């Protein structure tokens, strides 16, 4: 195992992305270099020709981000593959979240890309559009890549322009986590899946009045909540290569939460700002500064580690069909790999082998294979993990059609929402002014 940097744990849902504009420009430049150098790709799939010896042995390179725990789990699963396929070994590289995509772009542009690599929905479209990743449709159609036990919307969330660009390493969806101990000790009802946004805000207002703890974190800066809300309005975050919303939509969203703040349903702007951090340990539901937080369902175990209170989780407000089975992250294969068939078989193994799935658990999200997910749930000893699996399994019956994979510029679209929402929260701009600024920034980001 070769960590590229000193690893640190990140959220299981997605990597953090700071200094997004410089990084985005850096990534685009490097990935563009890939297209300009097709001869390099043809000659160097995963390093030099020594990766395959005359005796038929194969060495695959694989690259992922995460902390030491994820590295250990992944190492164990790959060792299991080698045990069952002795001719295949792995050159493993991993590193912390920060800088992962810079490194991946460098490897790809430099003619030494990994055969298999982990990727998320911030970048899948860019790599697919530039033909960096292998289209896995033919493997799916032949049965060599078995996705028959995947939720349909989870499979669809790996498709870019008709190409199956990545296979979900795990499933995730949005979850409203609440402090059950706080509510029950004060004789207050718990939130429920299906309550409207207005009902949620009214409920949060009552929680604030009774407990003196703000009822809900203000999610106006949270792209997950905005995205679900848009889908419930018949809109979406993206439509083809364009935005799926306009200034009027954003204005309504900001006005909804301006009203909630005025009613005392949310914390003050400074506390809201604290909760906007992606760090699980800073979510207001575990710091005691709000009764709810807007997270990913599979973050429940990590949230529970940071509080002694009992937590509950339901879908975001509104029609739950606005949610979908989101890939927590994907495995993709480099298009120029000399061992693409074996690489695809490894991905199939990680998704469908009972022993491998049991080893990996829910570190990369809930297992994509529904049959094996049920088995993992049965054997799980962590109550929070069992709860997250149970809730998402129940929500899966109500999921709507998958959203399209985000287009290039997605990271900027996310970060600009935080900026615009906080401008409204601090009174630096009206909802309409901030909406106009946000849409303009988004159009620039995806251009």
Candidates 68, 119, 64, 115; CA nearest to 94 is 64
User: Long-range contacts made by residues 179-183, C-beta under 8 angstroms, separation at least 24?
Assistant: 179/213, 179/285, 179/288, 179/291, 179/292, 179/307, 179/309, 179/310, 179/311, 180/309, 180/310, 180/311, 180/312, 181/309, 181/310, 182/207, 182/211, 182/213, 182/291, 182/309, 183/207, 183/291
Query: Does residue 23 have a pLDDT over 80?
Result: no
Asked whether the beta carbons of 375 and 393 are under 8 A apart, the reply is no
Query: Does residue 403 have a pLDDT over 70?
Result: yes
Residue with the larger pLDDT of the pair 355 and 297: 355
- The model's confidence at residue 2, banded by pLDDT at 50, 70 and 90, is low
Angle at 53 between CA 51 and CA 54, to 5 degrees: 155
Per-residue pLDDT reduced to its tens digit, 307-365: 999 999 999 999 999 999 899 999 999 999 999 999 999 999 999 999 999 999 888 98
- The model's confidence at residue 54, banded by pLDDT at 50, 70 and 90, is low
User: What is the per-residue pLDDT for 3?
Assistant: 55
Per-residue pLDDT reduced to its tens digit, 237-260: 999 999 999 999 999 999 999 999
Query: Does residue 294 have a pLDDT over 50?
Result: yes
Domains, in order of start, for the chain: 58-170+327-397 (3.40.190.10), 174-322+409-446 (3.40.190.10)
Mean pLDDT of the chain: 88
Per-residue pLDDT reduced to its tens digit, 181-194: 999 999 999 999 99
Residues 239-249 as b or e (16 or more Cβ within 10 Å = b): eeeebbbebeb
- CA-derived radius of gyration, the chain: 22
- The model's confidence at residue 153, banded by pLDDT at 50, 70 and 90, is confident
Asked whether the beta carbons of 216 and 260 are under 8 A apart, the reply is yes
User: What is the per-residue pLDDT for 1?
Assistant: 55
Q: In what order do the strands lie in the sheet with 58-65?
A: 2-3, 88-95, 58-65, 116-119, 326-333, 167-172
Q: Is the pTM of this model over 0.95?
A: no
User: What is the per-residue pLDDT for 100?
Assistant: 95
């Amino acid at each position: 195992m070769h960590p590229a940097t000193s690893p640190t744990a990140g959220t299981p849902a997605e990597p953090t992305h700071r200094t997004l504009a410089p990084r985005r420009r850096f990534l685009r430049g490097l990935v563009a270099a890939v297209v300009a150098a097709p001869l390099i790709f043809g000659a160097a799939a995963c390093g030099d020709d020594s990766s395959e010896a005359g005796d038929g042995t194969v060495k695959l390179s694989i690259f992922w981000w995460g902390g030491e725990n994820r590295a250990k789990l992944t190492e164990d699963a790959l060792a299991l593959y080698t045990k069952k396929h002795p001719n295949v070994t792995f050159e493993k590289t991993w590193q912390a979240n920060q800088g992962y995509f810079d490194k991946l772009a460098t490897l790809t542009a430099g003619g030494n890309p990994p055969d298999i690599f982990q990727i998320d929905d911030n970048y899948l479209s860019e790599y697919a559009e530039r033909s960096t990743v292998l289209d896995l449709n033919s493997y799916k159609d032949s049965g060599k890549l078995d996705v028959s036990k995947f939720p349909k919307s989870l499979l669809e969330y790996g498709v870019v322009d008709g190409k199956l660009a990545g296979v979900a390493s795990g499933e995730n969806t949005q979850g409203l986590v609440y402090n059950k101990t706080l509510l029950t000790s004060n004789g207050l009802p718990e939130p429920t899946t299906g309550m409207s946004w207005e009902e949620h805000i009214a409920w949060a207002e009552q929680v604030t009045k009774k407990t003196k703890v703000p009822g809900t974190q203000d999610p106006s800066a949270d792209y997950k909540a905005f995205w679900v809300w848009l889908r419930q309005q018949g809109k979406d975050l993206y439509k083809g290569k364009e935005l799926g919303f306009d200034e009027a939509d954003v204005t309504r969203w900001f006005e909804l939460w301006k009203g909630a703040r005025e009613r005392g349903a949310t914390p003050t702007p400074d506390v809201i700002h604290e909760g906007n951090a992606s760090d699980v340990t800073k979510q207001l539901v575990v710091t005691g500064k709000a009764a709810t937080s807007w997270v990913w369902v599979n973050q429940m175990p990590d949230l529970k580690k940071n509080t002694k209170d009992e937590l509950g989780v339901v879908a975001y407000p509104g029609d739950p069909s606005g949610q979908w089975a989101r890939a927590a992250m994907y495995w993709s294969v480099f298009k120029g790999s000399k061992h693409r068939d074996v690489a695809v078989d490894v991905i199939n193994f990680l998704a469908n082998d009972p022993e491998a799935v049991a080893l990996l658990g829910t570190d990369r999200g809930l297992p994509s294979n529904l049959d094996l997910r049920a088995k993992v749930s049965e054997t799980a000893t962590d109550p929070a993990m069992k709860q997250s699996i149970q809730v998402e399994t129940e929500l899966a019956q109500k999921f709507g059609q998958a959203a399209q994979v985000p287009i290039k510029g997605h990271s900027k679209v996310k970060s600009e929402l935080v900026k615009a929402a906080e401008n409204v929260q601090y009174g630096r701009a009206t909802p309409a002014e901030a909406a106009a600024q946000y849409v303009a920034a988004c159009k620039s980001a995806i251009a």
